[in-house]
């Protein structure tokens, strides 16, 4: 009988807010992993071998050689990866149903709200070739509204859910870039306190340090080719 595959989790990654979610979770859980860099500015996310595990051509993604039943499994979408790792390890994703619902609420709030809106704020404020005041105001204001939602939540508790969880990890990578989103963090005292708590965690620090130098290699504001790859329409064999 063949032995079940074992080995570290493969993390397909680039140091962005979505990538940080998973490197932080892996560090917080103490899981062994190896990084498979996906240079999004060079279009490596469109390679067939990556599309085979992440058909939406977005990182992060993982391959766990010791998946359910001992068989390998690949997972794409950062929220799904966080939930999977939480179930696998029993860490940062409560088994109590009421507590889990609270975590899921704020995880989905991030992946469906804060992340997309903050990403659009980054785009129109920093990268768009034409400055469009309506778009800049629209997304900057919406991000500010979402920070207000988070600030009111954190006024009542230490973490977004009842305990420190994957919801905090998912949100942190975007919230730490508040300045790029046109926000005044001093206006959100409870978010500011929470950011400091997150920054003090060793697992968060290690997760942010993963290939941190790669982030400085890309200057999207002055790299038309990278802009075309990241922001232009792209058709792949998988799209046809």
Q: Is residue 44 part of a domain?
A: yes
Same domain, 184 and 227: no
User: Which domain range does residue 102 map to?
Assistant: 97-201
118 contacts: CB under 8 Å, gap ≥ 6: 17, 143, 146, 174, 177, 181
Instruction: Provide the CATH number for the domain around residue 118.
Output: 1.20.1050.10
State the Cα torsion 21-239-217-170 to the nearest 10°.
-10
Q: Is residue 83 part of a domain?
A: yes
* DSSP summary character for residue 35: E
31 contacts: CB under 8 Å, gap ≥ 6: 8, 9, 85, 89
Same domain, 136 and 80: no
pLDDT at 215: 82
In terms of DSSP H, where are the helices of 155-188?
Answer: 166-175
pLDDT at 236: 34
The domain tally of the chain equals 2
Mean pLDDT across 114-121? 98
pLDDT at 238: 30
pLDDT at 6: 75
Give the model confidence (pLDDT) of 158-171 as tens digits: 999 999 999 999 99
Same domain, 113 and 154: yes
pLDDT of 239 over the 90 cut: no
Give the model confidence (pLDDT) of 59-68 as tens digits: 999 999 999 9
DSSP 111-153: IIIIHHHHHHHHIIIII-SS--HHHHHHHHHHHHHHHHHHHHH
pLDDT at 139: 98
Mean pLDDT across 143-151? 98
Q: Mean pLDDT in the chain?
A: 92
Rounded Cα–Cα distance for residues 180 and 221 (Å): 13
Instruction: Provide the CATH number for the domain around residue 41.
Output: 3.40.30.10
Same domain, 40 and 80: yes
Same domain, 218 and 195: no
pLDDT of 71 over the 60 cut: yes
Give the model confidence (pLDDT) of 178-230 as tens digits: 999 999 999 999 999 999 999 999 999 999 999 999 987 766 556 666 656 65
* DSSP summary character for residue 70: G
Same domain, 101 and 144: yes
61 phi and psi, to 5 degrees? -150, 160
Q: Is residue 123 part of a domain?
A: yes
Q: Is residue 233 part of a domain?
A: yes
Please state the pTM of the whole predicted model. Answer: 0.91
pLDDT at 237: 31
Are 67 and 85 within 8 A, CB to CB?
A: no
Q: Is residue 2 part of a domain?
A: no
């Amino acid at each position: 009988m063949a032995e079940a595959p074992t080995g570290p989790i493969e993390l397909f990654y680039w140091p962005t807010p979505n990538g940080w979610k998973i490197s932080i979770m892996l560090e917080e859980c103490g899981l062994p992993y190896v990084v498979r860099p996906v240079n999004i500015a060079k279009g490596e996310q469109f390679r067939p071998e990556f599309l085979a595990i992440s058909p939406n051509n977005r990182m992060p993604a993982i391959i766990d050689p010791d998946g359910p039943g001992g068989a390998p499994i690949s997972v794409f979408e950062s929220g799904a990866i966080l939930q999977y790792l939480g179930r696998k390890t029993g860490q940062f994703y409560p088994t109590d149903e009421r507590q889990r619902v609270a975590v899921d609420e704020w995880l989905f709030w991030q992946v469906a709200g804060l992340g997309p809106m903050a990403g659009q704020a980054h785009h129109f404020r920093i990268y768009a070739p034409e400055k469009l005041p309506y778009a800049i105001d629209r997304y900057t204001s919406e991000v500010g509204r979402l920070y207000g939602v988070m600030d009111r939540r954190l006024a009542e508790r230490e973490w977004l859910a009842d305990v420190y969880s994957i919801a905090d990890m998912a949100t942190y990578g975007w919230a730490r870039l508040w300045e790029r989103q046109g926000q005044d963090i001093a206006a959100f005292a409870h978010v500011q306190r929470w950011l400091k708590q997150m920054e003090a965690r060793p697992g968060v620090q290690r997760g942010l340090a993963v290939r941190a130098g790669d982030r400085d290699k890309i200057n999207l504001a002055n790299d038309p080719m990278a802009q075309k790859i990241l922001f232009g329409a792209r058709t792949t064999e998988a799209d046809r």
